[in-house]
Amino acid sequence: MFLPQPSSLFFRPKQWITNLTISCDHPFLRDAMNKHLTVWEDQGWAGVKDGRLLQCLASELRSRQGETFFVVEDETSVAPEAARLAHEGCRRRQPTDIPLDPIKDFYSPGVRLVGTKQKVFYRAIKEKKEATRKTRKATKRRIKMVQRDVLSAYDRAVTPEDIWTVARHKDFAFRTRNYLFQNLHDSYRLGRDWDVIPHCEDRVECPSCGVEETLEHILLQCATPGQREIWQAAKELWLRGNSTWPVDSVGAILGCGLATFKNRKGCTARGKQRLFRILVSESAFTIWKLRNERRINPDVDTYTEGEVLNRWYAVINARLDIDRTLARRPAKGKLPSLPPDLVLNTWSSVITAAGAPPANWLREPRVLVGPVLRERPRGRHRRGAPHCS
């Protein structure tokens, strides 16, 4: 019979030899246990996704007395009960943490010294340090807040690894990525952090509202012209091609890269996802820069609504111009480029022009995001055109 092992995730026979057949709908597990297992063990499982789980599985299979067979079948041919349990696990709103402890006598820890490249040692050492490094308390609180808000706003349960991975996505500008990274660590000095510094106690409160200046207050609550106008403009721009605006919390802003959108066929709408990342991240970063200018520069008291919107439209149009430039470059050239279809799918729903924009507006100079100013027609003989005095 099969008896459970306290330090193990699986069951294994103890009294007699029993052959085991594992049916799967993808060859990954079969190849992992047959083709790649020796190499991954020699490299100490460095850089292997789900390496701890595969290591535990390999030790369990080695501890068996019988033979193990992997059969790759069609998804419909796999046991329906196993498929039902797998789908049920995928639909869980909160990820489940399972302790994975391989059997000590049936696995080899560490990296093999002979025949291993130096980059493998560096990767293994880095992973070892990351596993033993203690996370800052402020970082833990901020990551938990992002997980909670992403689940509420985008209906998606994410892990800390998902949050850190998407924060480095190239859809975000370089400085915007740094801004998101600092906020995920909660490393900016705000609010009560100034209490411990002599002669800086006046920086605890927002000078306009008289309440503690937190990140949530800066991005969503401050009455000074800035955040309300920018979020309203971003919402109106987004609703041109979408039905809902899910941004309602700081965690939803910091985790904007985790929002997913589907097209009519049920596939991921890559262009819509990219536009959402650009709008939310650039809006938050613009609000942050306006706040810093008000607090640092004594000559700047406040901005008018028109000045705030002009700053925001300039940032969004700068991203549009960069995308158009990258889309016009050859795909296999030396300079970085973007697929033209991706740029068209990103911006087509929000661009404006003096007339109807052409289908392929990548080379059209008079296309932008925001209100369009009617210019004087070109030429010397403009009928009805105003003249400079």
Question: CB–CB of 215/188 below 8 Å?
Answer: yes
pTM: 0.76
* Torsion region of 266: left, alpha or beta (phi above 0 gives left; psi -120 to 50 gives alpha): left
- State how far the Cα of 253 lies from the Cα of 149, in Å rounded to an integer: 9
Choose between 379 and 220: higher pLDDT.
220
DSSP class of 364: -
What pLDDT does 375 receive? 47
Give the alpha-carbon dihedral of 280, 285, 286, 289, to 10 degrees: 170
Among 7-21, 133-147, 177-191, the minimum mean pLDDT is found in: 7-21
Write out the E strands in the chain.
Answer: 2-4, 11-13, 20-24, 68-72, 351-353, 367-369
Question: What's the rounded Cα separation, in Å, for the pair 237 and 276?
Answer: 10
Per-residue pLDDT reduced to its tens digit, 76-128 = 566 677 778 777 877 776 666 777 788 888 888 888 888 888 999 999 999 88
pLDDT band at 380 (very low <50, low <70, confident <90, very high): low
332: CB partners within 8 A, 6+ apart: none
- pLDDT given for residue 353 in this prediction: 64
Tokens 């030396």 correspond to 334
What crossing angle do the helices spanning 137-154 and 160-167 adopt, rounded to 10°?
90
The percentage of residues in the chain with a pLDDT greater than 70, rounded to a whole number, is: 87
Residue 22 has pLDDT above 80, yes or no: yes
pLDDT band at 385 (very low <50, low <70, confident <90, very high): very low
Q: Which of 106-110, 135-139, 311-315 has the lowest mean pLDDT?
A: 106-110
- Whether residue 7 has pLDDT greater than 60: no
CA-wise closest residue to 45 among 35, 30, 55: 55
Which pLDDT score is estimated for 175? 96
Compute the distance between CA of residue 117 and CA of residue 151 in angstroms, rounded to an integer. Answer: 41
Alpha-carbon 298 to chain mean position: 36
Res 234: pLDDT:
96
Is 71 a residue whose pLDDT tops 50?
yes
Q: Which two tokens stand for residue 349?
A: 């729903």
> Over the stretch 203-233, which tens digit does the pLDDT of each residue have?
999 988 999 999 999 999 999 999 999 999 9
Lowest mean pLDDT among 18-27, 187-196, 354-363: 354-363
State residue 6's pLDDT score.
38
User: What does the block give as tokens for 230?
Assistant: 């920018």
Q: Is 315 helix (H, G, I), strand (E, B) or coil?
A: helix
pLDDT at 187: 94
CB 93 within 8 A of CB 159: no
